[in-house]
Amino acid sequence: MIPFQRRIAVALAAALVMTGCEVAEDSTADPSTPEATSERTLFRYNREYIFVGPREGDPIVVPFTFRSSERNGSLNRSAQGWLARGGTWDRFLDAQNRTSTAGGVWRVVPHEGLRVSVGGPAEVESFHFERGERRLRLELDQPITGWSQGAETRFRLIDGWLSVGAEVVPGPVLEMLRVERTLDDGWPPGQDFDLLFVTSGDSIQLVLAETVEGEGPEAQYAWTRFPETERMWSEAEVRWLEMRPYEEARRDIPHVWSFRIPTARIHGELEAAGFGAVLGPERGGQRAVEIRYTVHGWVDIQGDRRDVSGMILHTQQ
């Protein structure tokens, strides 16, 4: 990718986001689970929770991601969790295990140090991580809204709050379920993707994601939530404005983004404060990479400019 490349946005939404780990299976909320059409048609099922707590300076962000893939009659499962404060990212959870297919691909299973309380209007009441002196707790309250993008992606926005040590920070939780086709190396086909979750900290919530040309399917959509107003959009644009080298993946990765929803007169700019990266397989002399950024910036909504902060999920494959 090069700076200023125009990218077709897969999803734009505004939201204070969340942290989460394990979830009860909810058949009414799950995307469709496609049947494999041949031995070489493989799928990866992603269930992610992202918490963004606005505060002075950069936000506190806690993403949890849970994945499963079917192999030889069983499920390979993984779980990862990060605590991000401004430019500092700490991956405190990184676990893999192999289980039976009981509970299905969307079930979030317990891992060492992670406990889950199930029940309540959001199906999951709380996530509690404790290991040594590290203690982190996410409480989920009432679902605010939910929406779908096609048959393979579902979202829910949930009220929540995060407790880390003596600090308690309120913020919504964004739950995202996605189905991805994968290659034999376990990662999706080569394609670039961005998903943005940002909030003004009070009345404005935005989430943005995007795909560009590549071997995978392209899609575009946007979702916005303002006071008493919620809407989806079928067109959105994202550009990489500034790049930086990332030697571990032998790639350039974005550092500054612009975005807009042309028909809504909404546009903005975001800058990375820090990031946490997961390296994937070797492809064409480069490593596939999945990066989560802490970001801050601004959004202009029909002439009203507001500061926003949140997280970007970025992949180059």
Write out the chain's pLDDT in tens, 317 residues: 434 333 333 333 433 233 333 334 443 446 765 554 444 568 999 999 999 998 777 789 999 999 998 888 899 999 999 999 989 999 999 998 888 888 889 887 788 899 888 777 667 788 899 998 889 999 999 899 999 887 788 999 999 999 998 899 999 889 999 998 888 887 877 778 888 999 998 778 888 777 775 565 566 788 999 887 899 888 888 889 999 999 999 999 999 999 999 889 999 999 999 999 999 888 888 998 999 999 999 999 999 999 999 999 998 87
- Who's near 138: CB < 8 A, 6+ residues apart? 18, 19, 20, 21, 49, 51, 62, 126, 127, 160, 161, 162, 163, 173
Q: How many CB atoms lie within 10 A of CB 133?
A: 6
Assess if residue 147 is contained within a domain.
yes
In this structure, what token pair is assigned to residue 226? 């303002």
* CB-count exposure of residue 273 (10 Å: 0-12, 13-18, 19+): buried
pLDDT in the model for residue 38:
43
* Domain presence at residue 34: no
**Range of the structural domain that residue 152 is part of:** 6-26+43-316
3-state secondary structure at position 194: strand
The Cβ of residue 262 has, within 10 Å, a number of other Cβ atoms equal to 11
Q: Compute the half-sphere exposure of residue 73: CA atoms within 13 Å on the CB side of its CA.
A: 0
32 lies in some domain: no
Q: On the CB side of 97, how many CA atoms lie within 13 Å of its CA? A: 11
Rounded Cα distance, 138 and 159, in Å: 11
Identity of the residue numbered 267: H
Tokens 């299973």, located at residue: 109
Strand, coil or helix: what is 70? Answer: strand
Task: Classify residue 39 by its DSSP letter.
Answer: T
Query: What pLDDT is attached to residue 201?
Result: 80
In a domain, 311, yes or no: yes
The answer as to whether 71 is a domain residue is yes
The number of distinct structural domains making up the chain is 1
For residue 37, is it within any domain? no
Q: Which two tokens stand for residue 72?
A: 């030889």
Q: pTM value? A: 0.85
pLDDT at residue 185 in the model: 80
Cβ–Cβ under 8 Å, residues 30 and 152:
no
Contacts of 265 (CB under 8 A, 6+ apart): 301, 302, 303
DSSP 234: S
According to the model, what pLDDT value does residue 252 have?
Answer: 96
Residue indicated by tokens 């893939």: 69
Joined tokens for residue 309: 């902060």
CB atoms within 10 A of CB 57: 11
| CA within 13 Å, CB half, 134 | 14
Q: How far apart are CA 183 and CA 190, in angstroms?
A: 9
Q: Is residue 38 part of a domain?
A: no
Judge whether 33 lies within some domain. no
Bridge partners, 293 (sequence order): 275, 312
Question: 3-class DSSP state for residue 121?
Answer: coil
